[in-house]
Amino acid sequence: MSREKIYVKNHYRYDAIFIFSILAMSIGLLFDSPKEIFDGYINILTSPSHLLTDYMAVGGIGATFFNAGLLMLLASFVLWKRHQLLTGPIIAALFTLFGFSLFGKNLFNTIPITFGVYLYAKIEGLKFNTLTMNSLFGTALGPVVSYICFGIGLPFTEGFIISYAVGIFIGMLIPALSSSFLRFHQGYSLYNIGFTCGVIGLFIQGVFKSFSLEVTNVKIISDGNIKIAIIMYIFFFIVFGLGFYLNGFSFKNLGNLLKNSGRAPSDFGNIYGRGVSMINMSALGILYTSYVIIMKQPLNGPVLGGIFTIFGFGIFGKHLKNVFPILVGTLIAYFLNIYDPKSISATVTILFATNLAPVAGEYGFIAGIFAGFCHVSIVSSVGLLHGGLNLYNNGFSGGFVAATLVPIFESIRNSRFFDKNEEE
Q: pLDDT by residue (tens digit) across 133-191?
A: 999 999 999 999 999 999 999 999 999 999 999 999 999 999 999 988 878 888 899 99
User: CB 346: neighbour CB atoms within 10 A?
Assistant: 22
Whether residue 290 contacts residue 339, with contact meaning beta carbons closer than 8 Å, is answered with no
Residue 45 has what pLDDT?
A: 98
Q: Is the pLDDT of residue 322 over 90?
A: yes
- Residue 217 exposed, middle or buried by CB count within 10 Å (0-12, 13-18, 19+): middle
Average pLDDT over residues 395-402: 95
Contact indicator for 388, 204 with CB cutoff of 8 Å: no
Give a yes or no: residue 362 inside a domain. no
- At 1 the pLDDT is 46
Assign 8 a pLDDT band (cuts: 50, 70, 90).
Answer: very low
Give 339's pLDDT tier (boundaries 50, 70, 90): confident
The mean pLDDT of 23-37, rounded to a whole number, is: 96
Q: Is residue 220 part of a domain?
A: yes
pLDDT score recorded for residue 12: 57
Assigned domain for 359 exists: no
Residue 337 Ramachandran class (φ > 0 left, ψ -120 to 50 alpha, else beta): beta
When pLDDT is averaged across residues 402-415 and rounded to a whole number, the result is 92
CB count in 10 Å sphere of residue 130: 12
Position 328 in a domain? no
Q: Is 47 a member of any domain? A: yes
Q: Are 71 and 98 in contact (CB under 8 A)?
A: yes
Read off the pLDDT band of 422 (50, 70, 90).
Answer: very low
CB contact set of 301 (below 8 Å; sequence gap of 6+): 54, 55, 56, 57, 64, 102, 103, 221, 222
Number of domains forming the structure of the chain: 1
pLDDT higher than threshold 90 for residue 400: yes
**Which residues form the domain of 214?**
1-317
**Distance between CA atoms of 102 and 279, rounded to whole angstroms?**
24
Which residues partner with 220 through β-bridges? 53
Which pLDDT band, with edges at 50, 70 and 90, does 10 fall under? very low
What is the pLDDT, as a whole number, of residue 384? 81
Alpha-carbon gap, residue 175 to 252, rounded angstroms: 37
Residues ≥6 apart with Cβ < 8 Å to 407 = none
Taking the C-alpha atoms of residue 204 and residue 244, their distance in angstroms, rounded to an integer, is 46
Question: pLDDT over 90 for what percent of the chain?
Answer: 84
**3-11 average pLDDT score:** 48
- C-alpha 102/C-alpha 89 separation (Å) is 20
pLDDT in tens, 349-369: 999 999 999 999 999 999 999
Residue 266 falls within a domain, yes or no? yes
* 370 part of a folded domain: no
pLDDT digits (tens, 9 = 90+) for 170-181: 999 999 999 888
Would residue 322 count as lying in a domain? no
C-beta neighbour count of 424 within 10 angstroms: 5
Q: How confident is the model at residue 385 (pLDDT cuts 50, 70, 90)?
A: confident
